[in-house]
Structure 1
Amino acid sequence: MPPLISFLFSASLFAAELSVIVNANHALKSATAQDIKKLYLGKISTLSGTKLIPVDQADGKPVRTLFYDKVCGKNPNQLKAYWAQLIFTGGGSPPPVLDGDHEVISWVSRNENAIGYVDARMLNDSVKPIFSVIIK
């Protein structure tokens, strides 16, 4: 196989995976994309009868951009406009922001009702995935 074709073929096999996580001891086993979208857009605050506190990643982080695009259907500008309108009308406020995957995992592992999203390669035993998105 010529080098360029080999490179293109190899690149097409690459996929990233995002995981939505909760504390390892949380009773929740799974969630739907629709439930996670509603939770992160402030439309609901509970899943399976349990209050969950979403945490976000910092603006500009690739995992944040992918999460909101693939799960919530919003690009960064749409997301900013969405929250600006909700804040202005008193309809809610965005989730607290943490710097990156390590901080999200640390926060979720210490707070039983926290929920976050991370690059799936960063998972450890202190958290458990309840939803995954594969991005090609």
Structure 2
Amino acid sequence: MYFSRIIVGLMIVGLSLFSIPINANPDLDNLPIAIFSIDPVFSELSQSKARKLYRGKTKRLDGKRVELADWPEHTTERVSFYHALLGKNPAQMNAHWASLSFSGKARPPKEIANADIESLLAWMSEKSHRIGYAPLNQLPDNATILYVVSREK
């Protein structure tokens, strides 16, 4: 009896740890996130098109094939972005992308190496037609904002 209480207690503590974002930053949670490109050829996105893009339902914008960027898995940026845009958590999105990838329908976004805007911009500047997302206040002056994700649900 005593042993089973300990096991149940440990399970509750263990499960609760999965609900806490690793890099929780309350200030970042209140900032709008923008989907953007440093390539000025793209026009503004509708909410529907932004959702299709990050669900793998479309691979082209304005007739050009695009590559998407993603922040490292347990960052506040990634957690907040997918929650605000799609109502999903990163684990749900990983499962979604795995399914699309396995079936050959789409490739998941490229996860940037480091959780900072410089890494994202470096990856985006290597080739044209790359798209990423970041807190609006971190975007460079040459960014073309395609869509601003609203946190209000």
Please, what TM-score do these two structures have when normalized by structure 1? 0.77
- Cα pair distance change 1:30/1:77, threshold 3 Å: same
4+ aligned runs moved over 4 Å, structure 1: none
Instruction: Determine the structure 1 residue equivalent to 2:57.
Output: 43
Identity %: 26
Task: Please give the secondary structure, in 2, of the residue aligned with 1:77.
Answer: helix
Task: Please give the secondary structure, in 2, of the residue aligned with 1:21.
Answer: strand
Task: Please give the secondary structure, in 2, of the residue aligned with 1:60.
Answer: coil
Larger RCO (CA within 8 A; separation ≥ 6): 1
Q: 2:37 aligns with which of 22, 30, 35?
A: 22
Matched, 1:119 2:144: no
Give ranges in structure 2 of 5+ residues lacking alignment: 1-25
Structure with max Cα Rg? 2
State the alpha-carbon separation in 1 of the partners of residues 151 and 56 from structure 2: 24
Map Cα deviations across residues 20-55 of structure 1 (whole Å, 9 max, x no partner): 1111x4222311122122122221111122221111
Give ranges in structure 1 of 5+ residues lacking alignment: 1-10
- Cα pair distance change 1:92/1:130, threshold 3 Å: closer
After superposition, residues 1-136 of structure 1 pair within 5 angstroms as: 15-23=30-38, 25-98=39-112, 99-100=114-115, 101-135=117-151
The count of aligned residue pairs is 123
| CA positional deviation for 1:72 | 2.2
State the alpha-carbon separation in 2 of the partners of residues 93 and 49 from structure 1: 18
Please, what TM-score do these two structures have when normalized by structure 2? 0.70
| CA positional deviation for 1:109 | 3.4
